[in-house]
Chain A
Amino acid sequence: GQNIDQPTEMTATEGAIVQINCTYQTSGFNGLFWYQQHAGEAPTFLSYNVLDGLEEKGRFSSFLSRSKGYSYLLLKELQMKDSASYLCAVRGGFKTIFGAGTRLFVKA
């Protein structure tokens, strides 16, 4: 089966850096996604990793270690609008399963 773990909540200060971790177990690993979701809205795509290493995209970076079943999302220069839930999702075969999400609160 598939299992995804990520922290429930995190709090960080505007302008700071925050790292959201995700550990997973799956068969037929076929990629890991990070999505941002604001309350009452659909998720929006942030990043995709299928090979080990760091992918950087502006203020957001995502890291993957397949041997450890581990990923993190790094958010730099935090802004108030970054307050949202961040979902780690793992594709096994052609099915994508989502973690419970990490609610990030950015304070001034």
Chain B
Amino acid sequence: GAVVSQHPSRVICKSGTSVKIECRSLDFQATTMFWYRQFPKQSLMLMATSNEGSKATYEQGVEKDKFLINHASLTLSTLTVTSAHPEDSSFYICSASTTGSGTEAFFGQGTRLTVV
């Protein structure tokens, strides 16, 4: 299957600072990337959908000014958690897919964010 690389895998930051998470598709062009958040023992919650070269579409209840998403190329999307607070501590996972229906989503390794 295709490879999606997510970096960093773990990050600890101080409250009030910003953290950037990168999601790269290594061997295919990802026209669409998805960002999920997962709290312990809960399912993946879709935060936003980003398409290359256009603004991300955020799910209801997700603050677009707090979770900045950039999808500048077909192989890279970034999620920046701005002014992080302890309640933002979570497992963030990206997935990438190509155009067309029926394509599976390939997941990055996930990023464990801890805000202290």
List the interface of chain A (C-beta within 8 A of B): 30-31, 33, 40-45, 48, 50, 87, 91, 94-101
Contacts and interface: CB of A to CB of B under 8 A. Distances in A.
What's the dominant secondary structure at chain A's contact region?
A: strand
Contacts of B95: 96
Given A33-B104, A45-B1, 18 more contacts: A31-B101, A40-B112, A41-B110, A42-B93, A42-B108, A42-B110, A43-B44, A43-B107, A45-B104, A45-B105, A45-B106, A48-B102, A48-B104, A50-B101, A87-B44, A91-B101, A94-B32, A99-B43
B54 interface: no
Contact of B109 (A31, A42, A95): A42
B34 interface: yes
